[in-house]
Structure 1
Amino acid sequence: MGNGLCVETSSSWTVFDWLDKVLGSVGSYAGLVKLRHDDDFIDRLSHHYTTMLLVIFTIVVSTKQYVGDAIQCWCPAQFTEAQVHYANQICWVSNTYHIPMETVIPESVDSRKEKQLTYYQWVPFILLMMALLFKLPRVAWKVLTFSHSISIDQFVSMVWSLQLAAKTERDVKLAEMTDYLESWLSTAEHNRSSCCLPAKQKVAKYSCLVCGRRYGNVFITACLVVKGLYAFNAFLHFFALNAFLGRDFAGWGFEIISGLADENPEYLKASPRFPRVTLCDFEIRQMSNLHRWTVQCVLPINLFNSKIFLFIWFWLLFLAVVSFLSLGTTIYASMFPHNRVEFIRKYMIMRKVILQRGGENRTVNKFVMSYLKFDGVFVLRVAAHNATEVLTGQLIENLYNKYKTTMHTEVKQNSVPGEYV
């Protein structure tokens, strides 16, 4: 169901899987995209591809704004070349305002100021700030998982090293990876002391309300927090741009859709949110007198701005929808024990560790719920995302065999009968 580390995937590819492979392959040749991932494609849509798009948009707008003519004003014939240059510069830095051609220009200065466009000088900085905000959840993920006893980056490197290893070395590397995971999973079992520990363990077994390394849910909690940040980040950008650009930016896309439905192409040609022809008022001091001028200006940059921000509107809507869906499917797949058990059981059946879905039901459940826990399953999903099903199955099989061996040893030492086979 969908593409992701935290959700179960079917054997058939989704469109996101296909896009991930195509964009990832092209990007890897260009040195822009890594093929090793500890996140899913929907997350990368936000923190990688969106950031790249925004940086490209910034370069396009900046080139036109600072290399070409950002504004050109139609000045009175008596203006000298220096005065025309001054008019262009003062109108650029002091804002212009938009009055439709069929509307009479109001005489009140305050009425004109209400129509001022205050954003166009800052568009490159707006785009860069957006790129930074879309990158922040990724930084949060790195920070939240940095001080953990297992390095996700190191583990992903081990998975790729295992995949690329020769057949003669693969078993050795697989054993090393199994020992690495077993050592990590075992460390949480030690140094436990708390008067409320049993109750906390019970809660942590089925939810992330109690979080900590000893409860085995640090990674999955960080995953849910970061996915929530991605979802709300896209959603809140509508309100941020609406406040900064004004003129009901949040409803712009719906107006475009409505205009296209009514077969009215004028909605695509010009928008009052990004007018190309504006007015500018400025004063020139001559001796002791102030002369107020109103000139008509053209903003070529808004030809680009309107198309860029229209694309951004639909892109933000798309990101918000898929990010919230990704968060929802992650919660569903991770919080319900049955989904975690079935993920592990699928590979066990494939490796013929168990012969049918009901085989060793009690032992498999304990292996997933008490040994792997949330984080163990999460890390194995990372392995499945970066390796073949065969290698993932071998890794799970090795961990399961070690778990059963440990359980047998504990049974013999304690002389307590139990069914672990």
Structure 2
Amino acid sequence: MYNLLAGLKDYFKRQEIIIDNPIFRIHCTFTTVLLITFSMIITWTQFIGQPIRCIVDGVPPHVVNTYCWIMTTFTMPDAFYRPASQVAHPGVANNDGQVGSQKHYSYYQWVCFVLFFQALFCYFPKWLWENWEHGLMKTIVCGLNIGLRSDEEKTQKKSILIDYLIKHLNQHNMYAFRYWFCEALCFVNVIFQMFVMDWFFKGDFMTYGMQVLSFDDKDQENRYDHMVYVFPRVTKCTFRKFGPSATIEQHDAMCILPLNIVNEKTYIFLWFWFIVLAILTGVVIVFRTIVILVPKLRPRLMHARNRMVSEDTIESVTRKVSVGDWWILYMLGRNIDPQIYKDVISEFAKKNATAESNNPKFQ
């Protein structure tokens, strides 16, 4: 188990070349590893002990355990509100023939699989962007992220980079919009997964965290633990078998679900985590929209990235390039040595101005 979890550390290695933003990495890398870790822990917990233990008379325990694990268990929702002296355990009481009022639980055998597929969905935007990006940023950086190089080598690499920027001027819009689409996909994925988990838990996930937080605000006599309601530790199960005379005998079993102690802690964390993630990704989407619609903001962002470059130079550059080119220059500022970046932007501004003056359509 430790070896499996240790293998996930490779996802947290520092990127040599940055092609995304921290929120994108939190969604696609950290959340993916988090969900896979939870899935592995729950799977491991299932196999180191019995995930369900049922108490019943007249039937071999292993038979009832297997049957109830596969065929689901249930509680009586109204029994969660009854005084402790009237029930065997919260949610466990006589159903008095009220079959329709039972709350059945079938999710526990699927939790590890659902978490794993959630992890795949979280990783998908990263996989898609890396396939679209295809190493472009690493190629044009040309190793200039390391400042300790000879002057001759830096001059040669800066010349290659500037020539590329001049030659491919106004050709990077698709590059930028593809990345921003992947960021939007992260937001859609978070919201989609919250609704999927709400459906998976039959409408109990969306309000799960708020219900748990309100638990301590109520009087001891008038409250019940919502975690126990969604993830009951003790449930009921009805086992039927043929008796000696071919008459169906019904056995009422009480089942203990140790696995739900892990599940309830896992999903209370995920509830808060997905709320925070939805807010962060939503803020990113709003910010990207403002950047696209308000061109005057772009030079300020570039100057904030590297204050060694003069504001006038940045203004002249951003005024003449498309939003895609601006994004390339902005990301270069995150990857290139600051002094080299200053030289690149200054030289690019001069060559770009010269190219415009030599172009007949600008004369």
| TM-score, length-scaled by structure 2 | 0.83
Task: Calculate the aligned-residue CA RMSD, in Å.
Answer: 3.1
Q: Is the 8 A contact 1:344 1:396 kept in 2?
A: no
Q: 1:284 to 1:98 in 2, by over 3 A?
A: same
Of 33, 53, 67, the residue aligned with 2:13 is 33
Aligned residue pair count: 342
In structure 1, distance between residues paired with 2:198 and 2:9 = 38
Q: 1:121 to 1:144 in 2, by over 3 A?
A: same
Q: 1:59 to 1:182 in 2, by over 3 A?
A: same
Q: Secondary structure, in 3 states, of the residue corresponding to 2:279?
A: helix
Of 129, 132, 146, the residue aligned with 1:141 is 129
- Asked whether 1:401 is paired with 2:350, we answer yes
Q: 1:415 to 1:75 in 2, by over 3 A?
A: closer
In structure 1, distance between residues paired with 2:353 and 2:293 = 25
Q: Which residue of 2 aligns with 1:85?
A: 62
Q: Is the 8 A contact 2:233 2:257 kept in 1?
A: yes
Q: Which residue of 1 aligns with 2:38?
A: 57
Q: Which residue of 2 aligns with 1:151?
A: 136
Shift of 1:168: 4.6
- Asked whether 1:231 is paired with 2:187, we answer yes
| Alignment-mate amino acid for residue 54 of structure 2 | C
Q: 1:300 to 1:139 in 2, by over 3 A?
A: same
In structure 2, distance between residues paired with 1:347 and 1:314 = 32
Q: 1:369 to 1:249 in 2, by over 3 A?
A: same
Of 150, 165, 168, the residue aligned with 1:181 is 165
Shift of 1:343: 3.9
Point out where structure 1 has 5 or more consecutive residues left out of the alignment: 1-26, 189-212, 417-421
In structure 2, distance between residues paired with 1:95 and 1:348 = 60
Identical-pair percentage: 22
In structure 2, distance between residues paired with 1:381 and 1:263 = 55
- Asked whether 1:248 is paired with 2:196, we answer no
Q: Secondary structure, in 3 states, of the residue corresponding to 1:350?
A: coil
- Asked whether 1:165 is paired with 2:149, we answer yes
Q: Is the 8 A contact 2:56 2:251 kept in 1?
A: no
- Asked whether 1:381 is paired with 2:330, we answer yes
Q: Which residue of 2 aligns with 1:3?
A: none
In structure 2, distance between residues paired with 1:415 and 1:291 = 93
Report Cα offsets for 1:17-49 as digits up to 9, x if no partner: xxxxxxxxxx99856323232111111111000
Q: 1:91 to 1:415 in 2, by over 3 A?
A: closer
Q: Which residue of 2 aligns with 1:206?
A: none
In structure 2, distance between residues paired with 1:269 and 1:115 = 14
| Alignment-mate amino acid for residue 124 of structure 1 | C
In structure 2, distance between residues paired with 1:230 and 1:120 = 27
In structure 2, distance between residues paired with 1:56 and 1:156 = 35
Q: Is the 8 A contact 1:156 1:382 kept in 2?
A: no
Q: Which residue of 1 aligns with 2:239?
A: 282
Point out where structure 2 has 5 or more consecutive residues left out of the alignment: 1-6, 80-86
Q: Which residue of 2 aligns with 1:368?
A: 318
Shift of 1:415: 9.8
Q: How does 1:70-81 map to 2 (within 5 A)?
A: 70-76=51-57, 78-79=58-59
Q: Is the 8 A contact 2:231 2:264 kept in 1?
A: yes
Shift of 1:336: 1.1
Shift of 1:342: 3.4
Shift of 1:225: 1.7
